[in-house]
Structures are given as C-alpha cells and as structure tokens.
A = this chain, B = another copy of it.
Amino acid sequence: MRVGIVGGGQLGWMTVLEGRKLGFEFLVLEEKPDSPACKVADACFSYDKVDEFLRWCHVVTFEFEHIPDYILEKVYPVALPSVEVLELKKSRIKEKSFYKRMGYPVPSFRIAQGKELPSLLRDVCLPVVVKRDVMGYDGKGQYVVNHPQDAQVIATSYPHEWFLVEDWVDFAMEFSIIGVRDKSGRVLLYPPTVNFHQQGILLYNKTTSLEVKEAQDILHHLMEDLGIVGVLAVEFFYTKDGKVLINEMAPRVHNTGHYTLDGCYTSQFENLVRAVTGLPLGSTSLKCPAGMVNILGLGLEDLDLHFLLSVEGAKLYWYSKSKKPRRKMGHINVVGRTEEEVEYKINRLLEMYHVLEEK
C-alpha cells in the first residue's frame, strides 16, 4: 500500500515515521524538497509532478490545508478526508458559517470587508477579534481590536478583503479534542488536552481528566456531519460562564495531539494512516498522563539538551527545519504518573525559554 501525503511539514514527517511501522510506503507532494517529511518519505514530488504522484498513490491525505485549487481538483478522487472538508477550512467565514448553520456553538461573529471595519466597529462591543478570511493559521491574520480606530490600518491595507469579526471570548480555558473516524463510520476520541497559546501559537498542552462530555458530543457529531475519514481536531473555548464554544477545527493530525505519540496506545499519526488505508483504528486510550512543549524559534544549538533530556520521561522530536523567529522547530513530549507530575515537568521544560531570555 502506498499512501500519499499533501504537505511536507512536521505533521507529515511524524505521519511517515509512524506509518512506516505498518509496512506502508509514503509519497509526499511538496514544493520544498528539504522539508521534514521529504527526508523520510520514499519519494517527494513537486506540484508540477502531481500526476505522477497520483499514479503511485492508493490513497492521499493531507497534513496542511492551504493547497492550491488545481491540486485539490486532481487529488479529489483518492483524497481522505474529502476535499470538501478542506474547502471549508480554506475560509474562516465558510467554516464559522457552517457551524452556525448546523447549530454548533460558536462565538458571535459578523462578516465585513476591510473598508467597512471602522464604521462597523463603532457599533459593537469591543474588544473583538478581526480575522482574515483566508490563509489563517498559528495566529496569522488575526488582530485584537480594542478601539474602532485600530481597524483603520486594516481598512487601508485590505479594503476589499473579507474579514470575520468575532466577539472577544473571555475564556477560562482553551482545550481541544482529537477524533479519528474510519471508513465504516466508527469514531474514537482521544483524551482532551488543555492548551496554552502564546501570541496565537500553541506553546504547550497537557492531558486532563476534566469531564468535557458536551465537547466530545460536538466532535463526534461534527465528524459525522463532515463525513470525515481520518483525523479531526477541534479547538474549544470553555468560557468563564461555563459555555463550550468551537474555536476552530483542523481535518488532519494536529499540534495538540503530538502527546499521543508517547501518551496513548496509538498515536494520532498511526490512526490517521489506519483510517485512510482501511485498517481497524487503534485504541486512543491514555497509557499515562502526558503533555507537550513546542520549541518555537530556537535552533538545536540554542537548546541545552542535557538539561531538557534529563527531565524524566522527556522525549525530543526535532524537525530539522531552518530557524526562523517563532517557527515551530520541534517539540518535547513528556509523560508522568500523575497530571501534577506532567505539569511539574512542563514547567521545568519551559525554563528553556527563561534561560534564553536571560542571556
């Protein structure tokens, strides 16, 4: 069996490393041949070789949503999850409107063009979060607006572009759940994690035994409504007044599920491969409490590996990408006997940032 992956980033890299254990071959469609997944794949194809890529693949999945339309059209017949789900992810307005239409709980939002923002924002409660409709991930294209005049710069820069204007959510907690669904419609959910972002990028997360039944039901229904075959991650807000709201979803393996490599019976990556190749899903049970710390914008040479790897149960995943400010360069998984032990270890690992700030 040969599995194609569109996108060559670290999510693809881990999918290949995990999926190889099952004896499958992996082909990657990616413009940059030095990207992480290309280094471990059996072959890597650029977009202009998409026809050849497809001739070899039995099934194609995604590790990235922002794929040109002509590529999506080509991979359509063998793509899992379906290309329709990806279309939804290409537009924040389409995504949020879908949730609203289907009755899922989301923060209140409006839709406006850039030039309309200053007048619109005079009539709404501030702050709001203004999000570009397209190409949004890792906090990119998002602006917190506290005063109507703050929107003037957006209006001037992008007068004709569409924006989602979302009420500011005063959340008590951000959490996510990852689900996997196979071809027969069987759904398994991973344990929820509490997530901590920094400037819109996930900094760390950890598993929690908190009851989140409402969110689990939402994820389960959403996987069915979207007809997902593969993995779906949903990020939620838990508001201070006790409401669960969908923040966003990703129809692929997700940064908040990296802990599954060491914490769960079967990783999200292996379960993606199992789902799209028609194998039975693996158990999503937790072996022990777990967590993850992202390494943002640091090179291997900036890290004190002796310190980091001497934290008991800490495992480094290094993506071997070129260093850029705030880029996800790698992550460290931790496991422990209790949630408190995992939290203690995460705090120790986060010291790597403090140490560097003091330099």
29 A-B pairs within 8 Å (CB atoms) are namely: A17-B17, A17-B21, A21-B316, A21-B317, A22-B316, A23-B319, A23-B320, A23-B330, A39-B42, A262-B265, A265-B312, A265-B313, A265-B315, A266-B315, A270-B315, A274-B309, A279-B305, A279-B306, A280-B306, A280-B309, A280-B310, A282-B309, A282-B313, A283-B312, A285-B313, A287-B287, A287-B288, A287-B335, A288-B288
A94 within 8 A of B: no
A22: B residues at CB distance < 8 A = 316, 318
Give the number of times this chain occurs in the complex, counting copies: 2
Closest to A290 in B: B287
Identify which of A22, A274, A330 gathers the most chain B CB atoms within 10 Å of its CB: A22
Closest to A39 in B: B42
Binary B-proximity of A262-281 (CB < 8 A = 1, otherwise 0): 10011000100010000110
Interface residue ranges, A against B (CB under 8 Å) = 17, 20-23, 39-40, 42, 262, 265-266, 270, 274, 279-280, 282-283, 285, 287-288, 300, 305-306, 309-310, 312-320, 330, 335
Closest to A319 in B: B23
Closest to A321 in B: B23
Question: Are the CB atoms of B23 and A300 closer together than 8 Å?
Answer: yes
User: CA A17 – CA B19 in complex, angstroms?
Assistant: 11
For the complex of A and B, 3 pairs with smallest distance between CB atoms: A23-B318, A280-B310, A287-B287
User: CA A242 – CA B23 in complex, angstroms?
Assistant: 42
A283: B residues at CB distance < 8 A = 312-313
Question: Are the CB atoms of B21 and A40 closer together than 8 Å?
Answer: no
A319: B residues at CB distance < 8 A = 23
User: Given A279-B309, A280-B309, are A318 and B21 neighbors across the interface (CB < 8 Å)?
Assistant: yes
User: CA A318 – CA B283 in complex, angstroms?
Assistant: 19
User: CA A71 – CA B274 in complex, angstroms?
Assistant: 41
User: CA A39 – CA B43 in complex, angstroms?
Assistant: 11
Closest to A318 in B: B23
User: CA A300 – CA B279 in complex, angstroms?
Assistant: 13
User: CA A310 – CA B279 in complex, angstroms?
Assistant: 9
User: CA A282 – CA B287 in complex, angstroms?
Assistant: 18
